Amino acid sequence: MRAPVTFDARDFLRSLTEEPGVYRMIGADESVLYVGKAKNLKRRVSSYFQRTQLSPRIAIMVGQIARVDTTATRSEAEALILENNLIKSLGPKYNILFRDDKSYPYIALSGGDFPQIFYHRGGFHKGVRYFGPFPNSWAVRESLHLMQKIFRLRTCEDTTFSNRSRPCLLHQIRRCTGPCVGLIDKEAYAADVQLASLFLNGRHGDVIDDLSRRMQEASDKLAFEQAASYRDQIRNLQAVLHKQFVESAKDEDVDVLAAVERGGMVCVNLAMIRGGRHLGDRPLFPSNAQGCDPLDALVAFVEQHYLDHPLPGKILVNLEPVAVKEALDAVVDGKVGVMTARYENERAWMGMAENNASLALLAREQESARGEQRLDALRDALGLADTPNRIECFDISHTMGESTVASCVVWDGKAMKKSEYRRYNITGITGGDDYAAMRQALTRRYEKVAAGEGVRPDLILIDGGKGQMGVAKEVLAELGLETITMFGVAKGESRKPGLEELVFPDGREPVHMRPDAPALHLIQEIRDEAHRFAITGHRARRAKTRNTSRLEDIAGVGPTRRRKLLAAFGGIEGVRNATVEDLCRVDGINRVLAEQIYNSLR
């Protein structure tokens, strides 16, 4: 049975081009329902209105179409890029989206004669080599610890490295070769960097062969202490390679993808094997995936993940490898085998991935049910007409009025939504005036909502008593948002958890809940998260202020001299501990200015 449509599809399809491009399904309210790419626009869009075996989910979408917009491109590659950009910016209702609050972590090696090895998350920079991605930060930190133990590369920042006069503790415990003070020459350090790179690329056999060769050469030269050092490196490396969750005799790079459905929810679990080492896994939950089957979610993940991350040597999947391979070929160039698990170790990897996906779904299901119960309890406790789905909570943090920061955290009905947290640096108020700080934060947050640009919350929590509530009530009234439900969470007399009272803007008596009430536990969780987020931001701002403002306040020390001072002494503490003679050695600092700096920092 053909799905009903709300516009004349026949006339539209007759005029549609056969060039590659992107199409957008638009609903009656001008909302974007779906964004897709096509090698042939006419053929692809026509399939939605001619096929009789559409999935229930897609059939519902087709029934809502009021218009189809298309953009022809010069190639499939251009269509892919445009589709990806539109999906990210428009967030269509029927596109299955895999969005992580956090990017994947990497191990990075900087440039220079003595490269630094370090943890990295975020954008890439020129001149730095990146190894990964890793499924989680634990896998990165374990690998970094291993790098220090076996290859003894430096992990310190460049400013610290450039200004050391004696080896640090890491050298003393044999976790660094001490390049900062010349205890290893450039060529020897480069050889260690090369071995670390081979290891991170999964070429463990080459690393062991090279270390064995060095050990033999040192032994032949009667350099027995050096030979023993290489022997210890080999033993440490062998111990790590044998301590695996699931061993592989091959130095292979494999991604294991298991898509599992439970109770209407789908999870795609990604396990990463690099150089035969199982680095752990990561469960991912798609949004806009109601009614989709596991294969649709798996294909959507492959299309989105490998557009931004490097391909492994092989991909194992638990569903339809041919369909997944076709999706992969459409978004990336590169010959990668996509297959089901065949050998014993591959079946073990896949079994682990499927089991972890099922456990993640069970945990998400229990968390969702618990969240719904607590929201229902909150609705009943406050006498609300509807259950609130989006809750926003505000808190203020400062130290004696210094570096005031306001936080806003968001609960989206199931869990805290960290990607939508916001901090506000409060300026232009009297230090310690929490009411003025709250006014500024609420105004900045809800001006956009009043203008129709932001998301309107169902409930606002204020960490504070009657005074803060009075300010919040005034701000929302000024912005025309007084219909949003709101209350304050005031600490009890002893400030102990469980003794909080709920304060309302309409002047009714405060409410005390039982310490074991589920609604109170939800309020406490959101309030505590707002407090944590505020105080973290405040501490960072205060530290930045204390580390820079003292130099900024000294006449004659502009941005250039300040940078030179901080670089020369490795930070503000080094500048503070420097003598007048030390300061004079910095380019651009004469004795008069050096004495002024010295006296100002005392």
User: Has residue 532 been placed in a domain?
Assistant: yes
Beta strands in 376-474 (DSSP E): 391-399, 402-411, 422-425, 459-463
Q: 127: buried, middle or exposed (CB in 10 Å: 19+, 13-18, 0-12)?
A: exposed
Rounded Cα distance, 422 and 530, in Å: 10
Spatial distance between the Cα atoms of 504 and 393, rounded to a whole number of angstroms: 14
Alpha helices (H) in 422-462, listed in sequence order: 434-450
pLDDT at 242: 46
Whether 224 maps to a domain, the answer reads yes
Identify whether residues 44 and 138 lie together within a single domain.
no
For the chain, what is the domain count? 5
Same domain as 403, residue 276: no
pLDDT at position 251: 67
Helix (H, G, I), strand (E, B) or coil at 106: strand
d(CA 594, CA 22): 63
Q: Is residue 368 part of a domain?
A: no
Which residues, listed in sequence order, are joined to residue 70 by a DSSP beta bridge?
Answer: 23
What six digits make up the tokens of 237? 């490396």
* Count of other CB atoms within 10 angstroms of residue 372: 13
Rg (CA), the chain: 30
One domain, residues 560 and 532: no
DSSP state of 554: S
Q: Say how many residues make up the chain.
A: 602
pLDDT of amino acid 394:
94
Point out which residues pair with 393 in neighbouring strands: 409, 461
Quick check: is 127 in a domain?
Answer: yes
Q: What is the CATH number of the domain that holds 488?
A: 3.30.420.340
- Using an 8 Å Cβ cutoff, are 319 and 301 in contact? no
Task: Based on the fold, state whether residues 416 and 513 are members of the same structural domain.
Answer: yes
Q: Are residues 238 and 263 in the same domain?
A: no
* In-domain check, residue 199: yes
DSSP string, 321-372: HHHHHHHHHHH--S--EEE---SHHHHHHHHHHHHHHHHHHHHHHHHHHHHH
Which CATH number belongs to the domain containing residue 38 in this structure? 3.40.1440.10
Q: How far apart are CA 177 and CA 187, in angstroms?
A: 13
| DSSP annotation string for 154-208 | --S-HHHHHT-SS--HHHHTTS---GGGTSS-HHHHHHHHHHHHHHHTT-HHHHH
* Alpha-carbon distances of 343 from 114, 245, 339, 407, 589, rounded to whole Å: 42, 16, 11, 52, 68
One domain for residues 402 and 458:
yes
In a domain, 370, yes or no: no
Kindly state whether residue 413 falls inside one of the protein's structural domains.
yes
pLDDT at site 3:
44
Looking at the structure, tell me whether residues 69 and 111 fall in a common domain: no
Amino acid at 300: A
Whether residue 113 sits in one domain with residue 85: no
Write down which residue in 319, 343, 363 finishes a domain.
363
pLDDT in the model for residue 290: 74
* Contact criterion met (CB below 8 Å) for 311 and 335: no
Q: How many CB atoms lie within 10 A of CB 265?
A: 18
Question: Does one domain contain both 191 and 281?
Answer: no
- Give the domain range for residue 273: 254-363
Domain check: are 172 and 232 in the same one? Answer: yes
Domain boundary among 363, 380, 411: 363
Residue 4 DSSP class: P
For the record, the structure tokens of 435 come out as 């009411």
Report the alpha-carbon distance of residue 153 to residue 325 in Å, rounded.
Answer: 39
Report yes or no: 85 and 24 within 8 Å, Cβ to Cβ.
no
d(CA 282, CA 103): 12
Last residue of a domain, one of 363, 382, 403: 363
* Range 80-85, long-range pairs (CB < 8 A, 24+ positions): 80/37, 80/307, 80/330, 80/331, 82/21, 82/22, 82/37, 83/22, 83/35, 83/36, 83/37, 84/304, 84/307
Do 117 and 214 belong together in one domain? yes
The rounded average pLDDT for each run of 10 residues, N- to C-terminus, in the chain (602 residues) is 57 84 87 88 86 74 87 82 80 78 77 88 83 78 79 85 83 86 88 83 71 78 74 64 47 88 88 80 82 87 84 91 87 84 86 88 80 84 83 89 88 83 89 89 91 85 88 92 89 64 83 83 90 89 65 79 80 79 87 86 73
Residue 385 counted as domain residue: no
The total of other beta-carbon atoms located within 10 Å of residue 379's CB is: 17
Residues 199 and 266 placed together within one structural domain of the fold: no
